[in-house]
Amino acid sequence: MDMLINGIAATAADKTWIEVTNPATGEYVDRVPRGSEEDVNAAVEAADAAFGVWSEKTTRDRGLVLYRAAELIRRDHKDLAEILTREQGKPIRESTDEVRGCANIFEYYASIAGLPAGETVTLGKAGDCLVTRVPLGVCAAIIPWNMPVLIMGWKAGPALLAGNSLVLKPASTTPLTNLRIAGLLKDAGLPHGVLNVVTGPGETVGAALVKHPRVKKISFTGDCATGHRIREMAQDHLKTLTLELGGSDPMIVMADADIPKAVEGALRGRFYNAGQICTAVKRLYLHEKIAEEFMRLLTAKVEGLSVGNGLSPGTDMGPLNSAEQLGRISSVIHETTEREEGTIRAGGCPLTGSAYEKGFFYTPTLITDVAPDAALLSNEIFGPVLPVVTVPDLGAAIREANHSKYGLGASVWTKDLATVKQVYQEVNAGIIWVNRHLTVPPEVPFGGTKESGMGRENGSKALDSYTQTKTLYLGW
Residues that bind ligand NDP (CB under 6 A): 142-146, 169, 171-172, 201-203, 206-207, 210, 221-223, 226, 229-230, 244-246, 278, 325, 328, 380, 382
Cβ-based nearer residue to ligand NDP, 96 or 174: 174
Cβ 55 vs Cβ 148: under 8 Å: no
Q: For residues 70 and 325, give the distance between their C-alpha atoms in angstroms, rounded to a whole number.
A: 32
Helix (H, G, I), strand (E, B) or coil at 267: helix
Task: Give the number of other Cβ atoms within 10 Å of residue 188's Cβ.
Answer: 18
CB-nearer residue toward ligand NDP: 165 or 178: 178
CB of 13 to ligand NDP, least distance (A): 17
Q: Give bridge partners of residue 169 from the DSSP assignment.
A: 142
Q: Nearer to ligand NDP by C-beta: 62 or 231?
A: 231
448 within 8 A of 461, measured Cβ to Cβ:
no
Least distance to ligand NDP from the beta carbon of 375, Å? 13
C-alpha dihedral sign at 338, 342, 345, 348: negative
Count how many Cα atoms sit within 13 Å of the Cα of residue 379 in the half-sphere of its side chain: 16
Name the nearest CA neighbour of 223 among 138, 142, 292.
142
Distance of CA 359 to the CA centre of its chain: 23
Strands 449-450 and 406-407: what pairing? antiparallel
The least distance separating ligand NDP from the CB of residue 331, rounded to whole angstroms, comes to 11
Q: How many residues make up the chain in this entry?
A: 476
Q: Please report, to the nearest 10 degrees, the dihedral formed by the alpha carbons of residues 102, 105, 110, 111 taken in order.
A: 140
**CA atoms of 438 and 99, how far apart (whole Å):** 17
Question: Which CB sits closer to ligand NDP, 41 or 468?
Answer: 41
Return the number of the residue (160 or 167) whose C-beta is nearest ligand NDP: 167
DSSP letter assigned to residue 127: -
Torsion, Cα 390 393 396 398, to 10 degrees, reads 100
| 437 vs 440: CA distance, rounded Å | 9
Single-letter residue type at 445: P
Closest Cα partner for 196 from 221, 216, 218, 168?
168
Give yes or no: 278 in active site. yes
Task: Give min distance, CB of 328 to ligand NDP, in A.
Answer: 5
Which residue of the set 244, 380, 451, 457 is catalytic? 244
Which one from 139, 278, 451, 457 is the annotated catalytic residue? 278
Which residues, other chains included, contact 37 with Cβ-Cβ below 8 Å and sequence gap of 6+?
204, 205, 208
From CA 118, how far away is CA 441, in angstroms rounded? 25
Residue 277 Cβ vs ligand NDP, minimum distance, rounded to whole Å: 7
* Minimum distance of ligand NDP from residue 383's CB (angstroms): 8
Q: Which is nearer to ligand NDP, 112 or 440 (CB)?
A: 440
* Residue (40 or 262) nearer to ligand NDP, CB: 40
Q: How far is the CB of 312 from ligand NDP (least distance, A)?
A: 25
Catalytic residue list contains 107: no
Cα 140 to Cα 121: distance, rounded to the nearest angstrom: 32
Residue 202 C-beta: closest distance to ligand NDP, Å: 2
CB of 451 to ligand NDP, least distance (A): 11
Choose between 40 and 311: whose C-beta lies nearer to ligand NDP.
40
HSE (side-chain half, CA atoms, 13 Å) at 272? 21
DSSP code, position 446 = B
Name which of 158 and 246 has its Cβ closer to ligand NDP: 246
Amino acid at 26: G
b (16+ CB within 10 A) / e for 94-105: bbbbbbbbbbbb
Enumerate the active-site residues: 244, 278
